[in-house]
Amino acid sequence: MSYALLIYSNPDDSTSERAPYADWGAYTQSMKDAGVFLAGEPLQAKDTATTLRVRGGKRTVIDGPFAETKELLIGFYILDAADLDAALDWAARMPDAGLNSLEIRPVMAF
Amino acid sequence: MTTADAIAAAFRAHWAQIVAAMVRRVGDLALAEDATQDAFTAAAARWPREGIPPNPAAWLMLAAGRKAIDRLRRERGRRERDVAYARDAPVSVAAAELEDDTVTDDRLRLIFLCGHPALASEARIALTLRCVAGLSTPEIARAFLVPEATMAQRLVRAKRRIAATRIPFELPTAPNLPERLEGVLTVLYLIFNEGYAATSGDDPLRADLCDEAIRLARLLHELVPDHAEATGLLALMLLHHARAAARTAFGRPVALDEQDRSRWDRDAIREGEELLAAAYAARRPGPYQLQAAIAALHARAPGPQATDWPAIASLYALLAGMMPSPVVELNRAVAVAMAEGPRAGLALLRALIEEGSLDAYAPLHAAHADLLRRDGDAQGAAAAYARAIALTENTAQRAELRRRQRDLKA
């Protein structure tokens, strides 16, 4: 089953030491080596986000992320895991797992 | 044994085992549960006519397997491949599934599945009672004082979530095992507490939750006999439940210090103490063992004055260190008051009252009132009783508090 691991982070938290980029590379490689990696990308900072709503055929473009909350989506992985426990184990091993919040959702299968 | 007794006995002994074996075969908890229910319904119809089968478990397992196939055929009858497993599951499979190791592991898998942390706490409790303990949905609804439709929906949603997120029917891996077992113990503890809190009410079904929790704790203890806290939890339940008969009199709750101790269940106390001794031997202390140890000290005492209060106070101090909580702190204050006098207890209580997190917790104000009364402050006690009465919903408990408040004037 495919699961999305959505990574949420608090950008205001500058006190905590973040994992070096090399850790992310190693983590992604370990997913690839295990044959579970399907996709995964980090996203640029929230001030690059643009929110669009189309209502009644009219486009409204707003600068900034969809929801102004403390924790923002900063990246994602899509992985192929046997079950939720396996997906949770991968998520727990992610760099900065101790700082971020990770949402695990099955990808809709058609 | 009558046929009805035989069916009831088979239900108690084999329900969880058959649900578990069916989950393994069909990979779906909802279908497994329905098929198991069908098998028992078939037994109720056929055993009186045909006689009790020599191996009831094997009969039920086979029947559940057939019922699962029937249900799959009905639901998606045109697609033959969906029932392919039926061809791969000859009679001998049912026999293999009755082998000890598989049965043990599958029941444990079922317990872990129903108690998975990805499910909400109330969903875990409901699923465990339905799928492991075999309670019906109306029974669980009544026990938790919610409408039947609400409970049915809670169960359906939980099973749907298990299927949609693919929560596995597997034993947790070694690094996750302690945390997952702790989660399962919490589910059983909450079920017991729900029943224990209700034993003073007038609904026997709610009190039965204590028996169900004990049965589940026994099963878990049987499956992981070397786990000190699982053993400790079973001991705790037995030691508390041993007082059940003395906890109420003429429909009103009786406080521990006023209970008729001759009505305590000595067999349950003995078993609880033996289990606790076995748990100690593992030298892995935990909150359930400590609480059981406290309950054992009460159980051993011939009367309230002869209770080893200093030992209970120090066990509460240990418990507070391991599992800091204002309720533990409240119990510690009461024990200290018994050991060293009301003043010492009041000093601890005052800190707790100022801290404020138990402001709406009736037992805090009731304990405060009791200590003020013992310290000779009738006026303060009356005010604290009034606060406790205002916060108590259980009518029997409220009446008892009113009685104590009236007695102040006497």
Specify which of A102-106, B145-149, B301-305, B324-328 reaches the highest per-range mean pLDDT.
A102-106
B409 band by pLDDT with thresholds 50, 70 and 90: confident
Residues of chain A found within 8 Å of residue B176, distances taken between Cβ atoms? 85, 89
Q: Is the pLDDT of residue B202 over 50?
A: yes
A108: closest chain B residue by CA: B164
B309 band by pLDDT with thresholds 50, 70 and 90: very high
Strands A72-80 and A37-42: antiparallel
Q: Is the pLDDT of residue B262 over 60?
A: yes
Give dist(CA B124, CA B210) in Å, integer: 17
Q: Is the pLDDT of residue A94 over 60?
A: yes
Between the alpha carbon of residue B360 and those of residues B226, B352, B357, B365, the distances in Å are 40, 12, 8, 9
CB B35 within 8 A of CB B56: no
* Number of neighbours of residue A96 by Cβ within 10 angstroms: 17
Q: Is the pLDDT of residue B89 over 90?
A: no
Task: Supply the ipTM of this predicted assembly.
Answer: 0.85
Q: Is the pLDDT of residue B10 over 60?
A: yes
Domains of chain A in sequence order = 2-106 (3.30.70.1060)
Chain A, window 21-60: residues with a beta carbon less than 8 angstroms from a chain B beta carbon = none
Q: Is the pLDDT of residue A83 over 60?
A: yes
| Structure confidence at residue B145 (pLDDT) | 82
Q: Is the pLDDT of residue B59 over 70?
A: yes
Give dist(CA B38, CA B31) in Å, integer: 10
| Structure confidence at residue B198 (pLDDT) | 65
Residues of chain A found within 8 Å of residue B118, distances taken between Cβ atoms? 84, 88
B215 vs A110: which has the higher pLDDT: B215
Query: Pick from A88, A89, A106: which is nearest to B164 by CB?
Result: A106
| Structure confidence at residue B2 (pLDDT) | 85
* Residue contacts between A and B (CB atoms, under 8 Å): 27
A109: closest chain B residue by CA: B164
Any idea which of A58-72, A92-106, B218-232, B274-288 has the lowest mean pLDDT? A58-72
Q: Is the pLDDT of residue A9 over 80?
A: yes
B22: CB partners within 8 A, 6+ apart: B31, B32, B33, B35, B36, B64, B65, B68
What three-state secondary structure class fits B34?
helix
- Under DSSP, the state recorded for B146 is -
Minimum distance, in Å, between the CA of residue B116 and any CA atom of chain A? 10
Chain A, window 90-109: residues with a beta carbon less than 8 angstroms from a chain B beta carbon = 104-106
B169: closest chain A residue by CA: A83
Residues of chain A found within 8 Å of residue B170, distances taken between Cβ atoms? 83, 85
Average pLDDT of the residues in B294-300:
96
Residues of chain B found within 8 Å of residue A84, distances taken between Cβ atoms? 116, 118, 165-168
| CB-based contact A1 B173, cutoff 8 Å | no
User: Which tens digits make up the pLDDT trace of B103-155?
Assistant: 678 999 999 999 999 999 999 999 999 999 999 999 899 888 889 999 999 99
Any idea which of A18-22, A44-48, A67-71, B269-273 has the lowest mean pLDDT? A67-71
Residues of chain B in Cβ contact (below 8 Å) with chain A: 116, 118, 164-168, 170, 172-173, 176
